[in-house]
Amino acid sequence: MKHILWFCRLSALALLLTGTIGWAQQRGHRIGSAEVLVNTRNHWQNWEFPAGTVEISATGTVRPRQLRRGTNAVEDIVEFLRRHPPGNLTKKDPEQISLTDAIQAGSNPEDVIHVLDGDPSTYWEPDPPRNPDNLASEWWFTVDLGRLVFAKKIVVRFAQEGDPFLLFELLVTDGQKRPQFPRPTFKTAIRTLQPNKSERLFEIDLTDSEIEGQAVRLFQVLVSGSNLDRREELTQEEYNALSAPDRGAIEYYKHLPDGDSFRVEREVYEQLSAGQQGDIRHFRRERPRLAEVEVWSEGDEIVGGAIERGGRLST
């Protein structure tokens, strides 16, 4: 009888310990033979700490969050989207939120992430337009920074292996919707008025504009002008040396008796006499490629998350 009671007590103790260990693992630690361990990312995520004050690595290392000076707000978009997902992402698991969730685009949306990756060798190149007369309705994208940023400078870099946008505009907004407007109101940070074929770097000083002091949540890039398939005139030999995707238009001209000439279709040109056949012009196709957009602020905001940490704001 004593052996039976001893066995029952031992079994109950084992069940109790098993339950305790399982509960402990779910609650943020693991009980070993002679120690209590807190050493994984899952453990730490069950602990309570003021929002935005610590960083937990994938290996379970915990360190205080550093407040940096001179930060590029596009580098940690995903972190802020996961921390405070906007309405369209609230039903999504935070770990499933990615950089593509911050992007809307009218053309080639998959490659907009290259504008935010810090790599000058990657780029966004819009697809050939369906309506060349209204480029801005297709060649655009918008990026959500994931939080409000008091930006002091925006940098636009175009790819070295490609062409800068001939005409473009960059706009910003705090993302707030006014009662009379269903969408946020954007303000222009820069608009090019003259065709640009060579400048590949634009640094926009927001401290010297009407945008100074405005918090930025979204930025938008619009392309309003392009040479399309007539970026640069080449000789026939240069044209033939191009790869097929880079070959642009070929124009055919007819001589007039007064010495002038006008453009005709190829079929018409081939029916002309040798004396009537004028020049044949060859062009390289434009490759509009945006490499990077950087949104620079004074540094990490300390106000963000103050209420979550138990603080309060007053004026």
Residue 255 contacts residue 261 (beta carbons within 8 Å): yes
- Average pLDDT for residues 83-110, to the nearest whole number? 90
- Average pLDDT for residues 157-166, to the nearest whole number? 97
When divided into structural domains, the chain yields a total of 3
Residue 206 contacts residue 153 (beta carbons within 8 Å): yes
- Is residue 314 a part of any domain in this protein? no
- Answer whether residue 27 shows pLDDT above 70: no
- Is residue 305 a part of any domain in this protein? no
Q: What is the pLDDT of residue 177?
A: 78
Q: Which domain holds residue 187?
A: 69-228+290-299
The reply to whether 157 and 218 lie within a common domain is yes
The reply to whether 75 and 131 lie within a common domain is yes
Q: What is the pLDDT of residue 312?
A: 54
Chain-centroid distance of CA 114 in Å reads 7
The reply to whether 101 and 214 lie within a common domain is yes
| 315 — pLDDT class (breaks 50, 70, 90) | very low
Token match 């361990």: residue? Answer: 37
pTM over 0.85: no
- Answer whether residue 306 shows pLDDT above 60: no
Rounded to the nearest integer, the mean pLDDT of the chain is 82
The reply to whether 198 and 259 lie within a common domain is no
- Is residue 308 a part of any domain in this protein? no
Least confident of 9-18, 33-42, 145-154, 293-302: 9-18
The reply to whether 76 and 216 lie within a common domain is yes
The reply to whether 176 and 253 lie within a common domain is no
The reply to whether 14 and 113 lie within a common domain is no
- Answer whether residue 308 shows pLDDT above 70: no
| 18 — pLDDT class (breaks 50, 70, 90) | very low
**E runs forming strands in the chain:** 30-31, 36-37, 54-56, 62-64, 69-72, 103-105, 140-149, 151-158, 167-173, 187-191, 201-205, 216-225, 232-234, 247-255, 261-264, 277-284, 290-299
The reply to whether 124 and 263 lie within a common domain is no
Q: What is the pLDDT of residue 294?
A: 97
- Average pLDDT for residues 28-36, to the nearest whole number? 65
Q: What is the pLDDT of residue 11?
A: 43
On the 0-12 / 13-18 / 19+ scale of CB atoms within 10 A, 184 is middle
Q: What is the pLDDT of residue 56?
A: 64
- Is residue 106 a part of any domain in this protein? yes
Token match 């240069």: residue? Answer: 238
- Is residue 313 a part of any domain in this protein? no
Q: How does pLDDT run across 201-241, given as a tens digit for each residue?
A: 999 998 876 776 678 999 999 999 999 999 999 999 999 99
- Answer whether residue 43 shows pLDDT above 90: no
- Is residue 203 a part of any domain in this protein? yes
The reply to whether 52 and 174 lie within a common domain is no
Residue type, 122: T
Q: What is the pLDDT of residue 84?
A: 86
- Average pLDDT for residues 70-96, to the nearest whole number? 87
- Answer whether residue 304 shows pLDDT above 60: no
φ, ψ dihedrals at 110, nearest 5°: -60, -30
More confident residue, 301 or 281: 281
Q: How does pLDDT run across 230-277, given as a tens digit for each residue?
A: 999 999 999 999 999 999 999 999 999 888 999 999 999 999 999 999
- Is residue 312 a part of any domain in this protein? no
The reply to whether 51 and 115 lie within a common domain is no
Q: What is the pLDDT of residue 91?
A: 84
Least confident of 12-21, 48-57, 79-88: 12-21
